[in-house]
Amino acid sequence: MATLPNIVLAHGSWADGSCWAVVIQLLQQEGYHCTAAQFPHTSLEADVKVLRHILTLQKGPTIVVGHSFGGQIMTALGTDAPNVVGLVYVAGFGLDEGETIQALLSQGPPPPWLPRLEIDSQGLAWLPEDDFMEYFAPDVDPVKARVMYAVQQPLHISTFTDVMGTPAWKTLPSWYVVPANDQIIPPIGERLFAQRMGATTEEVTSSHVVMVSHPDVVAKLVMKAAQAV
């Protein structure tokens, strides 16, 4: 019997590793070894360093799953991602070389949440509770969504202008979950990411936090990726 690849999960901004809880349960039930990273989000460089360290601890081939800014982190691994054999983007940024998040978001009307970010004295951007509930997790039970809001990990504003180097998806097979009702990253942009990386794509009627509202869809695509590699 073939050994299953490891699964490393990368959370995005305004979330933490607990956002993967049900996805992890579903994967563990099928025998997968899972590790959820916890990122400081103080800079893209700091987050990549954390992810790279976790990947070096894996014994054998590994699938990386990245949500939102977690997709930016795993993309920035470049061409030497240790032990990585595949990437699964979950409403994740999949920038190409030379691109920035700020430039992407400026290509159309600004998202309604963007000008209302609360920037603290350390340059960390927090999503206000009303916007969190309305735009980030509108299809999650409100009680659970407020807990998610309470544990949100803010994102440093410098990450919006970080220029992507050679993306990891250039040399690794990729899969992509597009939530059609995403109000954080425009779904049209996510479809473009998936198309140009040649990703196997699954689209679902969901908000940005598809791994919370539709964990079964995410877990199935992760297992599909694991079986393919």
Which CATH code for domain 6-228? Answer: 3.40.50.1820
Contact indicator for 73, 47 with CB cutoff of 8 Å? yes
Question: Which has the closest alpha carbon to 179: 209, 152, 200?
Answer: 209
Residue 1 has pLDDT above 50, yes or no: no
CA angle 199, 37, 210 (to 5 degrees): 50
- What does the domain layout of the chain look like in residue ranges? 6-228
Query: 13 is written with which tokens?
Result: 């901004």
Instruction: With 0.85 as the threshold, say if the pTM is over it.
Output: yes
Query: 111 is written with which tokens?
Result: 């998202």
How does pLDDT run across 57-67, given as a tens digit for each residue? 999 999 999 99
CB atoms within 10 A of CB 102: 13
Arithmetic mean of pLDDT over the chain: 97
Q: Can you give the length of the chain in residues? A: 229
Contact indicator for 153, 14 with CB cutoff of 8 Å? yes
How does pLDDT run across 76-134, given as a tens digit for each residue? 999 999 999 999 999 999 999 999 999 998 888 889 999 999 999 999 999 999 999 99
How does pLDDT run across 164-178, given as a tens digit for each residue? 999 999 999 999 999
